[in-house]
Structure 1
């Protein structure tokens, strides 16, 4: 009897509390991660401070999640699971291999450190769901895996690199935005899909590409995140022009926490400034591939309220990809190529730092 070869794909995301009870655990994982909560302090001071901040923020965060309508938690894990199921179907249709697709998070549950997530290699592939490279996302993921398996995954054949520079990603994003405005997307595939058709010509909009911000401390350490965002937007804008888009595009950064200097301009400042000019504004979440707190609440509610109160002619939230088929087919092709051709340290190149067990030192 012939048995199919078996492979596992693990989709990695930052995570989100599935229930109210998981919020403090999620925040603790988030703030104790040295690549996320990067402070110039020794560990014996940084870790207690991180746990204190997580505990202090929990009540406030609980109220925000309660207002979203997902049972007191975040939809990010369940949305990633939808992507996993669709990717599993695509991979099994494309190959003669028996693919299983799982979901792991670097904060909260199901946590990447769980024993069920095996060592990266040709038969166990990890795909971080971050289009752009950042120390706080991709390098954090690689560090988690290195600590667990005592080997950096880059070059193992079991790691899919970030894909923001890929022209196909730019094409798919532009197509997605065009299909959103032309009414070709299925509303039932998305959370809180905007109701009603845009009143006007979307090709004249001011389109804001809002990315999750990071502390400038990370950028000064060699993180190429801002460059990745800028090249993504440049490529997508070029593709949008082929659809007849005539409007202006802007880059901004959201979700700042704490007093330190973060990437700028802030999305709040950008939205307010454009609104005071009476612009028609649309916001696309350039650094997210599934909808959750930052897209639904921050963009969909906070930014919308600010825009309309400040004089914007209109405000539109464009959803994240979710289970948009062309995007997931693109990811499937990336998975089938993995990273076996990498022969240099992308961590040093993109994040400014090689992990201790880098095979390319």
Structure 2
């Protein structure tokens, strides 16, 4: 991508509008994606419906973003750029080669479909920032790149697989949660660091691990997302017990859109239940690695208000990693290994289908 660097790492995230003027474009990209907006309809009709929904939802979404106080847009792109800057320093400290780390978004800008993002290979590596595999995230990203370059990136040497099943990820997450509750994190490194504190011992809290939900239609197609979320939480919970945590763990799903059946239990249902029973509640965003609309607004405001209304004793939002150094060091090591160990189609294994130009098809 540039002659000034030996290697380029591209951090891929879902995206978010940086300003209010980008909201409709972001929504069109989102709903036009067949792996995200998956409906049993002819493609020409699905696309028309996607564009109609994007246009109709734009004003409501705009009001939500305006209420967050980030200039009418989402902080996701800026937060991912912060992670890129820190990760670049780490990679250049670990490697003799010179690295450049940039960001690309599946929806909105900077758009992964633009010409500056070149084909995946051993010198141009793509890292999707999704801990768990889902058709709507990892498979969607791979499909975009396959359509652009004529081959699936998996096995090219230029793709870093998802990381939520890694035991080191579990250890780092548990340590992060422990450091949060024992006031060992640097507050100035986080976007809107939570001010709430539990009025009980953190080891006795009910911790809700809230993942972004997906339609059950995707699960029925072979998406292993729910299994991976459960495995991630199990590994993290085991590590938390080593820090003396004695409370109850819950897995839930948030951000449901539309009337179709989605992954359950919903975070709203679980928090309502816990609050009615007078519990002390903490929520951790298990499927996100940086704070944005779903963590700051949905978890930090809506779920907090719900807790108080239903009679909960306390509520704490645990932040996402952001630029937490142990997490970025973990990612850097996976980048240096790239995907040399992949020898089969992870799309079929984890998502239920291979892409058309899979190099592992027999």
Q: Normalising by structure 2, report the TM-score.
A: 0.98
- For residue 195 of structure 1, give the secondary structure of its aligned residue in structure 2: coil
Q: How far apart, in 2, do the equivalents of 1:196 and 1:235 lie?
A: 26
| In 1, Cα distance between equivalents of 2:196 and 2:275 | 21
Describe the SS at the equivalent of 1:157: coil
Q: 1:254 to 1:290 in 2, by over 3 A?
A: same
Counterpart residue number, 1:294:
294
Work out the CA distance in 1 between the residues paired with 2:163 and 2:194: 28
Matched, 1:97 2:97: yes
Contact 1:10/1:125, CA 8 A, preserved across alignment = yes
Q: Which residue of 1 is the match for residue 126 of structure 2?
A: 126
Q: Following the alignment from structure 1 to structure 2, what is the Cα–Cα distance between the partners of residues 4 and 172?
A: 33
For residues 161 and 341 of structure 2, the distance between their equivalents in structure 1, rounded to whole angstroms, comes to 11
- Unpaired runs of at least 5, structure 1: none
Q: Which ranges of structure 2 fall in alignment gaps of 5 or more residues?
A: none
1:222 maps to 2:222: yes
Look up the SS of the partner of 1:163 in the other structure.
Answer: coil
Query: What root-mean-square deviation, in Å, do the aligned CA atoms of Structure 1 and Structure 2 show?
Result: 1.0
| Structure 2 equivalent of residue 174 of structure 1 | 174
Check conservation: 1:16, 1:73, Cα contact below 8 A: yes
User: How much does 1:290 deviate?
Assistant: 0.2
1:160-309 equivalences under 5 Å are 160-195=160-195, 197-309=197-309
Alpha-carbon distance in 1 for matches of 2:36, 2:4: 40
Structure 1 residue 186: Cα displacement: 1.1
- Give 1:179 shift: 0.2
Count residues in correspondence: 359
Aligned residue runs from structure 1 range 341-356, under 5 A? 341-356=341-356
Alignment CA distance shift 1:148-1:271 (3 Å):
same
- Runs (4+) off by over 4 Å: none
Q: Aligned partners of 1:67, 1:341: CA distance in 2, in Å?
A: 45
Contact 1:127/1:159 (CA < 8 Å) preserved in 2? yes
**Is 1:336 matched up with 2:336?**
yes
Cα 1:196/1:164, change in 2 over 3 Å: closer
Q: CA deviation at 1:4?
A: 9.1
Whether the 8 Å CA contact 1:133–1:225 is kept in 2: the answer is yes
1:188 deviates by 0.9
Give the match's secondary structure for 1:156.
coil
Matched residues in 2 for 1:313 and 1:33: separation?
A: 41
Alignment partners' CA distance in 1, 2:199 and 2:94: 40
Whether the 8 Å CA contact 2:196–2:316 is kept in 1: the answer is: no
CA distance in 2, matches of 1:196, 1:37: 36
Whether the 8 Å contact between 1:183 and 1:197 is mirrored in structure 2 is no
C-alpha distance in structure 2 between counterparts of 1:305 and 1:312, whole Å? 10
In structure 1, the partner of 2:7 is 7
